[in-house]
């Protein structure tokens, strides 16, 4: 389906929703109800078959019948209308742009308030429109600020132009465009894809000549990965059959980020099918690596209560039932020590790229 | 008028050597055992218990003609044992609390002393003199002129009262009381609360044995109690209170209670009020007094919570309506715009739908509780104002009780007639002459008056002729209603408190003293 067709579909869907509401009000004389799948912790289900987090059956009803829901109802409709307008004008916008486009005051002089309290509200509304229409927001041309980076022997076609990410891959990386609908992968020459947690680590590895030496694609989501990064990883893994390995910090937070690629997240569980790469391998940094690679004590960090709670939580999750992971988590809970990938710099700036990573990759037979 | 106090026997836990000696000397010559003497001259002391006490004191319980045989040392022993022994709580017949009915009447009326100039010489151009009067009272002065008109019409001879009575219409009044033992003496703590309606601001009224305490509020235990009892007992949070009642949102008043339109009344009734100073201006937090007061106030707050929550709900419903009003355009615009149609029908039907939806909701049920008097909102838009001489149907009840009490009083003491109007005119003239420069010594004298009541009783009262006694029953009311409140302008309160304030309270105070004395000695 071409992007233009997709856009007409979106407009059509939004119109259908609006029509339903007005019919409810004028003809049926009843409160209109928007049925939206519930997103969040309590409506996220682990699917053994798909090996990812998926959304459950719970729904929420948004209807202007209570004080709390009127603003929400109005917000959703206003956002849907704004998206329709955006598509009508054939424009693109970031989520922040949508926030400003729909910003206005509510109420009289006496108690004036803003239509959105902050951007989070408008982001939620965009999400709700996604859920209502069942169409991802990239199709709406609503995107977020790009933050994922890619470097290595891969050619992307963005619009009419080709971006060769191998050019200058010793000294720079390309941002992964967030309007992923307009991005096509032209050619992949690499043998495997390596995803790291932070861009600082990526820069270090890239500079060492890792890409050229092992013929790899380096990617990072700069912390929590955005949708475009996750989708890129998935496409490379499933359409281009390249193995994906993930390296993150050796703490529950870093592990969480690594798992975003592998199993998905609760807040985007409704879109897991597009975003999650179940075959990705989380290789490091393991808690046992802290001791195996003799990270000096000064470079280790003491785990705080939040870390401990997270680790305890994780231990119970079905996707962590693997003996290896249980062992790692137990080790962490015993030692209460965490460590960042950057700690390898203590052994020398090239240690990470030239010793640790190759050794890890060899263990799983990727190189 | 509250029920008069009755004479009772002293309580043994409050026994001292003198009381004991007196009890024994009463039965001198008679052949009664010591234990018999004890159980007949003290309350809540059975014969058995008396025997027990005497045996504890290692005395012969069958001793007769005791005064001669008992040494002072033995008596002290008995007193000490009594102090350690646990007795039943004393009864409180010897105390005369205000009672719910009268306190409620008091809570609903506000007495204001108005400047005298107008009254001494009622002139048609009365408004010219308003400059001398605090602005806040100008309303009442208008009312005062009305009173005078009425009085003139009635050809009353003593028409120059300087009191203006404003009948308040609070939305709710509540009353609660506790009986406690403080310093071995039974104490009745009465609290009242009036909320909303005409009441526009927070005020605290304190009474000790029906005498209003006017000064030194800051150090009084009541002030502590008010600031220590949490406002959330009313069912609202501090934030809500601030949002709903605070007129000036930026005001940084620490005590949130002060933004509420509440009048709080404390009356402490005891044979011995734990005053802080010899000046009898404030009450100290002694023994469990504070906790009793706190529990009283908490109870009042809880009673008030029903009303406040109801008001909050009403407000919420209003907000809801507003919310719909504000958000509806957004919804309608979004729909019409995206459908690309102009449909005014949508707006109409939506409003209708919402209206129907809102009215469907059940109303909050009114719940009546004990000791809560809910006052219907005044049918007239203006608050009712009644003068002293005005025969208001609402005050009929009051007068009735006043007449009753008056007659009983006459029986008690024929000489105790007080001419209120005359005092007031005197006071007026005083104020008028000194023009707000009334000296402090004058006030001190009045305080002395209060403390030297026994002397004053004869000297002070004889001054007033009898003849006005039957003139005006509502004037009597003034004198006798102990819950009379004084609205005092903060700027010149000292000038405003004339002898009239003291007089009626003096009367009741004397009454109280007289009764108390009889009981204890």
Q: Do B330 and A74 touch (CB under 8 A)?
A: yes
Query: Which pLDDT score, from 0 to 100, does residue B474 have?
Result: 42
Whole-number Cα distances in Å, A268 to A145, A177, B242? 17, 19, 41
* Residues in chain A within 8 Å Cβ distance of B345: 26
How far apart are the CA of B339 and the nearest CA of chain A, in angstroms? Answer: 6
How far apart are the CA of B249 and the nearest CA of chain A, in angstroms? Answer: 13
Choose the closest CB to A25 out of B320, B330, B350.
Answer: B350
Q: Identify the residue with better confidence: A130 or B180.
A: A130
**Chain B residues with CB-CB distance to A under 8 A?**
316, 319-320, 322-324, 326-327, 330-331, 333-335, 337-339, 343, 345-346, 349-350, 352-354, 357
Q: Do A81 and B316 touch (CB under 8 A)?
A: no
Q: Do B335 and A21 touch (CB under 8 A)?
A: yes
Q: Do A106 and B339 touch (CB under 8 A)?
A: no
Q: Identify the residue with better confidence: B22 or A302.
A: A302
Q: Do A30 and B335 touch (CB under 8 A)?
A: no
Choose the closest CB to A26 out of B338, B346, B354.
Answer: B346
Which chain A residue has the Cα nearest residue B355? A65
- Residue A6: how many other CB atoms lie within 10 Å: 18
Choose the closest CB to B357 out of A14, A65, A74.
Answer: A65
Query: Which pLDDT score, from 0 to 100, does residue A170 have?
Result: 82
Choose the closest CB to B335 out of A22, A65, A67.
Answer: A22
Q: Do B335 and A14 touch (CB under 8 A)?
A: no
Residue B108 neighbours by CB under 8 Å, 6+ apart: B167, B168, B169, B170, B173, B194, B375
| Residue pairs between chains A and B whose CB atoms are closer than 8 Å | 72
Which chain B residue has the Cα nearest residue A107? B326
* Residues in chain A within 8 Å Cβ distance of B353: 25, 29-31
Which chain B residue has the Cα nearest residue A29? B353
CA atoms of A229 and A176, how far apart (whole Å): 7
* Residues in chain A within 8 Å Cβ distance of B316: 67
Query: Which pLDDT score, from 0 to 100, does residue B251 have?
Result: 56
* Residues in chain A within 8 Å Cβ distance of B317: none
* Residues in chain A within 8 Å Cβ distance of B323: 67, 70-71
How far apart are the CA of B327 and the nearest CA of chain A, in angstroms? Answer: 6
Contact B478, B418 (CB under 8 A): no
Contact A63, A33 (CB under 8 A): yes
Q: Do A85 and B319 touch (CB under 8 A)?
A: no
> Which pair of structure tokens corresponds to residue B435?
């023009």
Q: Cα-atom radius of gyration of chain B, to the nearest Å?
A: 29
CA atoms of B243 and B380, how far apart (whole Å): 29
Contact A158, A240 (CB under 8 A): no
Q: Do B335 and A71 touch (CB under 8 A)?
A: no
For A303-325, give the DSSP string.
Answer: --HHHHHHHHHHHHSGGG-SHHH
Q: Do A67 and B346 touch (CB under 8 A)?
A: no
- Cα-based angle B270, B273, B276 (whole degrees, multiple of 5): 165
Which chain B residue has the Cα nearest residue A103? B330
Choose the closest CB to B327 out of A29, A30, A70.
Answer: A70
Query: Which pLDDT score, from 0 to 100, does residue B364 have?
Result: 40
Q: Does residue A77 sit at the B interface (CB-CB below 8 Å)? A: yes
* Residue of A243, A329, A314 lying closest to A278 (CA atoms): A243
Q: Which residues of A126-155 are buried (b: 16+ CB within 10 A; e: fewer)?
A: bbbbbbbbebbbbbbbbbbebbbbbbbbbb
How far apart are the CA of B301 and the nearest CA of chain A, in angstroms? Answer: 28
**DSSP assigned state of B233:** G
How far apart are the CA of A95 and the nearest CA of chain B, in angstroms? Answer: 19
pLDDT, chain A, mean: 89
CA atoms of A43 and A37, how far apart (whole Å): 9
Q: Do B334 and A65 touch (CB under 8 A)?
A: no
* Residues in chain B within 8 Å Cβ distance of A64: 324, 327, 331, 354
Q: Does residue A172 sit at the B interface (CB-CB below 8 Å)? A: no
* Residues in chain B within 8 Å Cβ distance of A18: 334-335, 338-339
CA atoms of B103 and B100, how far apart (whole Å): 5
How far apart are the CA of B356 and the nearest CA of chain A, in angstroms? Answer: 10
* Residues in chain A within 8 Å Cβ distance of B360: none
Residue A100 known to be catalytic:
yes
How far apart are the CA of A131 and the nearest CA of chain B, in angstroms? Answer: 18
Query: Which pLDDT score, from 0 to 100, does residue B41 have?
Result: 80
Q: Does residue A80 sit at the B interface (CB-CB below 8 Å)? A: yes
Q: Which residues of A112-124 are buried (b: 16+ CB within 10 A; e: fewer)?
A: eeebbeeeebbbb
Contact B506, B84 (CB under 8 A): no
Contact B195, B261 (CB under 8 A): yes
How far apart are the CA of A26 and the nearest CA of chain B, in angstroms? Answer: 6
Average pLDDT over every residue of A67-80: 86
- A314-342 pLDDT, tens digit per residue, is 999 988 888 999 999 999 999 999 999 99
φ, ψ (nearest 5 deg) of residue B7: -80, 135
* Residues in chain A within 8 Å Cβ distance of B342: none
> Which pair of structure tokens corresponds to residue B295?
């529990």
CA atoms of B395 and B166, how far apart (whole Å): 12
Residues, chain A: 367
pTM comes to 0.55
Which chain A residue has the Cα nearest residue B324? A70
Choose the closest CB to B338 out of A64, A70, A84.
Answer: A84
* Model-level ipTM above the cut of 0.90: no
pLDDT category at A169 given cuts 50, 70, 90 is confident
Q: Do B331 and A15 touch (CB under 8 A)?
A: no
Contact B205, B217 (CB under 8 A): no
Contact B42, B84 (CB under 8 A): no
Q: Do B338 and A71 touch (CB under 8 A)?
A: no
Mutation target to probe the A interface, by most A beta carbons within 10 A, among B249, B338, B341, B351 is B338
Q: Do A25 and B322 touch (CB under 8 A)?
A: no
Q: Do B330 and A106 touch (CB under 8 A)?
A: yes
Q: Do A22 and B316 touch (CB under 8 A)?
A: no
Q: Out of A41, A76, A100, A270, which one is annotated catalytic?
A: A100
Q: What is the pLDDT along chain B (521 residues), one digit of tens a residue?
A: 777 778 888 777 777 788 888 877 777 667 777 777 877 888 887 888 888 887 887 776 566 555 556 777 888 888 888 877 777 777 777 888 888 888 888 888 777 666 554 443 433 433 333 344 334 344 444 444 444 443 444 433 344 556 677 777 788 888 888 888 777 778 889 898 888 777 778 888 888 888 888 888 888 888 888 888 887 777 777 777 777 776 655 555 556 777 788 888 889 888 888 888 888 888 888 778 888 888 888 888 888 888 888 888 888 777 777 777 788 888 888 888 888 776 677 888 888 887 777 766 544 443 334 455 555 444 443 343 333 434 444 444 444 444 444 444 444 444 444 344 443 344 444 444 444 434 444 444 544 444 444 443 343 333 344 444 444 444 444 444 444 444 434 444 444 444 444 444 444 444 444 444 444 43
Parallel/antiparallel/unpaired status of strands B203-208 and B262-270: parallel
* Residues in chain A within 8 Å Cβ distance of B322: 107
Sign of CA dihedral A24, A25, A27, A30: positive
Top mean-pLDDT range of A19-28, A244-253, B187-196 = A244-253
């Amino acid at each position: 389906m071409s992007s233009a067709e997709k856009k007409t579909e979106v407009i059509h869907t939004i119109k259908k929703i609006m029509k339903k509401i007005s019919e409810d009000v004028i003809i049926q004389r009843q409160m209109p109800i928007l049925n939206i799948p519930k997103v969040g912790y309590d409506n996220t289900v682990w699917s053994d078959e798909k090996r990812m987090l998926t959304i459950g059956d719970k729904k929420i009803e948004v209807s202007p019948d209570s004080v709390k829901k009127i603003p929400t109802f109005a917000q959703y409709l206003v956002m849907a209308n704004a998206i329709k307008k955006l598509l009508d004008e054939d424009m693109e916008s970031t989520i922040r742009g949508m926030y400003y486009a729909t910003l206005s005051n509510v109420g009289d002089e006496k108690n004036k308030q803003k239509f959105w309290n902050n951007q989070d509200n408008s982001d939620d509304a965009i999400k709700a429109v996604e859920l209502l229409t069942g169409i991802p927001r990239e199709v709406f041309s609503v995107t977020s600020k790009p933050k994922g980076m890619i470097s290595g022997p891969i050619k992307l076609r963005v619009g009419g132009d080709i971006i060769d990410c191998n050019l200058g891959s010793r000294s720079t990386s390309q941002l992964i465009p967030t309007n992923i609908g307009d991005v096509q992968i032209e050619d992949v020459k690499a043998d495997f894809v390596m995803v790291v947690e932070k861009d600082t680590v990526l820069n270090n590895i890239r500079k060492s000549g890792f890409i050229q030496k092992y013929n790899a694609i380096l990617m990072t989501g700069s912390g929590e990965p955005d949708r475009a990064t996750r989708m890129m990883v998935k496409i490379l893994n499933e359409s281009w059959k390249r193995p994906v390995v993930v390296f993150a910090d050796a703490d529950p937070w870093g592990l969480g980020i690594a798992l975003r690629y592998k199993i998905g997240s609760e807040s985007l569980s409704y879109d897991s099918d597009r975003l999650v790469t179940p075959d990705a391998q989380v290789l490091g940094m393991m808690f046992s690596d802290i001791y195996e690679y003799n990270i000096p004590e000064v470079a280790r960090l003491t785990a705080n209560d939040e870390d401990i709670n997270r680790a305890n939580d994780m231990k119970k999750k079905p996707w962590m039932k693997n003996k290896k992971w249980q062992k790692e988590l137990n080790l962490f809970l015993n030692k209460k020590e965490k460590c960042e990938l950057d700690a390898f710099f203590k052994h020398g700036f090239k240690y990470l790229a030239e010793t640790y990573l190759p050794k890890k990759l060899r263990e799983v037979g990727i190189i | 008028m509250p029920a008069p106090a009755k004479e009772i026997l002293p309580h043994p836990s409050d026994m001292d050597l003198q009381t004991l000696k007196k009890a024994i000397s009463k039965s001198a010559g008679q052949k009664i055992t010591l234990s018999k003497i004890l159980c007949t001259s003290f309350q809540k002391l059975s014969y058995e218990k008396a025997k027990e006490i005497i045996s504890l004191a290692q005395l012969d319980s069958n001793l007769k003609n005791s005064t001669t045989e008992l040494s002072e040392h033995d008596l002290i022993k008995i007193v000490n044992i009594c102090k350690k022994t646990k007795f039943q709580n004393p009864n409180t017949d010897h105390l005369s609390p205000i009672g719910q009915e009268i306190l409620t009447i008091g809570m609903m009326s506000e007495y204001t002393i108005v400047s005298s100039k107008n009254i001494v010489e009622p002139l048609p151009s009365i408004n010219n003199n308003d400059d001398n009067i605090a602005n806040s009272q100008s309303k009442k002065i208008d009312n005062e002129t009305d009173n005078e008109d009425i009085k003139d019409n009635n050809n009353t001879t003593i028409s120059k009262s300087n009191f203006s009575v404003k009948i308040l219409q609070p939305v709710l009044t509540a009353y609660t009381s506790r009986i406690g033992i403080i310093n071995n003496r039974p104490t009745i703590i009465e609290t009242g609360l009036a909320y909303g309606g005409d009441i526009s601001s927070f005020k605290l009224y304190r009474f000790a044995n029906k005498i209003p305490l006017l000064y030194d509020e800051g150090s009084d235990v009541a002030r502590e109690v008010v600031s220590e009892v949490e406002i959330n007992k009313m069912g609202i949070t501090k934030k809500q209170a601030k949002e709903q009642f605070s007129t000036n949102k930026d005001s940084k008043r620490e005590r949130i209670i002060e933004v509420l339109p509440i009048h709080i009344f404390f009356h402490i009734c005891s044979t011995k009020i734990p005053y802080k100073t010899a000046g009898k201006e404030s009450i100290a937090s002694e023994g469990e007094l504070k906790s009793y007061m706190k529990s009283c106030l908490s109870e009042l707050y809880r009673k008030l919570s029903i009303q406040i929550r109801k008001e909050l709900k009403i407000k919420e419903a209003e907000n809801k309506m507003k919310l719909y009003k504000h958000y509806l355009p957004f919804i309608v615009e979004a729909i019409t715009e995206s459908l690309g149609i102009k449909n005014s029908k949508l707006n109409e039907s939506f409003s209708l739908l919402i209206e129907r939806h809102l009215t469907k909701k059940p109303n909050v049920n009114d719940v009546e509780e004990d000791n809560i008097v809910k006052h219907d909102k005044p049918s007239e838009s203006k608050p009712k104002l009644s003068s002293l001489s005005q025969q208001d149907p609402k005050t009929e009840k009051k007068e009735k009780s006043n007449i009753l009490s008056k007659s009983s009083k006459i029986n008690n003491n024929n000489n105790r007639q007080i001419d209120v109007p005359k005092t007031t005119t005197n006071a007026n003239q005083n104020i008028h002459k000194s023009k707000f420069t009334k000296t402090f010594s004058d006030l001190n004298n009045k305080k002395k008056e209060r403390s030297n009541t026994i002397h004053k009783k004869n000297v002070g009262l004889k001054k007033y002729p009898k003849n006005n006694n039957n003139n005006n029953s509502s004037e009597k009311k003034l004198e006798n209603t102990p819950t009379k409140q004084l609205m005092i302008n903060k700027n010149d309160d000292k000038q405003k408190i004339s002898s009239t304030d003291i007089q009626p309270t003096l009367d009741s105070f004397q009454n109280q003293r007289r009764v108390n004395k009889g009981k204890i000695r």
